[in-house]
Structure 1
Amino acid sequence: MKRVDYDGPIHRHYHASRALGPAASDTWLSRFAAALPARRPLSGLDLGSGTGRFAPLLADAFGPVTGVEPAAAMRSVAERESAHPRVRYLAGSATAIPAADREFDFGLLFLVWHHVADPPAAARELARVLRPGGTLLLRAQFSDRMPDIWWLRHFPGGPELDATMYRPLADEIATFEAAGFAASPGLQVVAEPSTTTRAQRLAQLRQRSQSVFELMSADQLAAGFAALERAVAADPDGAVPDTEATLLVLTRT
Structure 2
Amino acid sequence: MTIAHQDPRLAGAYERGNAMPAASLAAWTELIADRLGRAERPGESGWLLEVGCGTGVFCAALAELLPGVRVTGVDPSEAMLAEAARHHAHPRVEYLHGLADALPLPDGSCDGALISRVVHHIPDRPAAARELARVLRPGGRVLIRTTVRERLDSPVYTYWPQLLDTDRRRFCAEQELLADFAGAGFVPDGWESFAQPIAGSLAELRERYALRAESKLAALGEAEFAAGLERLAAAAEGEGEGRPVLERYDVLVLRRGGR
Name whichever of 54-63 and 189-198 sits farther off.
189-198
Q: Contact 2:20 / 2:199 at 8 angstroms: preserved in 1?
A: no
For structure 1, which segment, 114-123 or 153-162, has the greater mean C-alpha deviation from structure 2 after superposition? Answer: 153-162
Segments of 5+ residues of structure 1 without an aligned counterpart are none
Q: Which residue of 2 aligns with 1:141?
A: 147
- Aligned-pair identity in percent equals 33
Is this contact kept in 1: 2:20–2:198, CA < 8 A?
A: no
Is 1:227 the counterpart of 2:254? The answer is no
Counterpart residue type for residue 22 of structure 1: A
Look up the equivalent residue of 1:25 and give its one-letter code: L
Q: In the TM superposition, what is the alpha-carbon distance from 1:177 to its structure 2 partner?
A: 0.6
Q: Which residue of 2 aligns with 1:89?
A: 95
**Would you say 1:34 and 2:34 are equivalent positions?**
yes
**Alpha carbons 1:46, 1:107 under 8 Å: kept:** yes
Matching of residues 8-27 of structure 1 within 5 Å: 8=7, 9-27=9-27
Paired residues for 1:54-93 under 5 Å: 54-62=58-66, 63-93=69-99
Residue 240 to residue 165, structure 1, CA distance change in 2 (3 Å): farther
Tell whether the 8 Å contact from 1:44 to 1:66 is kept in structure 2 after alignment: yes
Q: Summarize deviations over 1:88-144 as a string: whole Å, max 9, x none.
A: 001001011100001100001110111111111111101111110001010011111
Deviation string 1:174-204 (CA, Å, 9 cap, x unpaired) is 110111100112x111122345221111111
How does the TM-score come out when normalised to structure 1? Answer: 0.92
User: 1:108 is matched with which residue: 104, 114, 133?
Assistant: 114
Which structure 2 residues correspond to residues 168-179 of structure 1 after superposition, within 5 A? 168-179=173-184
- How far the C-alpha of 1:30 sits from its partner, in A, is 2.4
Partner secondary structure for residue 54 of structure 1: helix
Asked if the contact 1:23–1:194 (Cα under 8 Å) also holds between the matched residues in 2, the reply is no
Question: 1:237: how far off?
Answer: 4.6
Structure 2 residue aligned with 1:150, among 146, 152, 155?
155
Alignment of 1:202-213 (within 5 A): 202-213=206-217
Q: Does the aligned pair in 1 maintain the 2:20–2:197 contact within 8 Å?
A: no
Partner Cα separation in structure 2 for residue 188 and residue 109 of structure 1: 15
Q: Which amino acid aligns with 1:47?
A: V
Backbone CA RMSD of aligned residues? 1.7
Structure 1's consecutive aligned runs of 4 or more residues displaced over 4 angstroms after TM superposition are none
Report the Cα distance in structure 1 between the residues aligned to 2:207 and 2:240, rounded to whole angstroms.
11
Pairwise CA distance, 1:236: 6.4
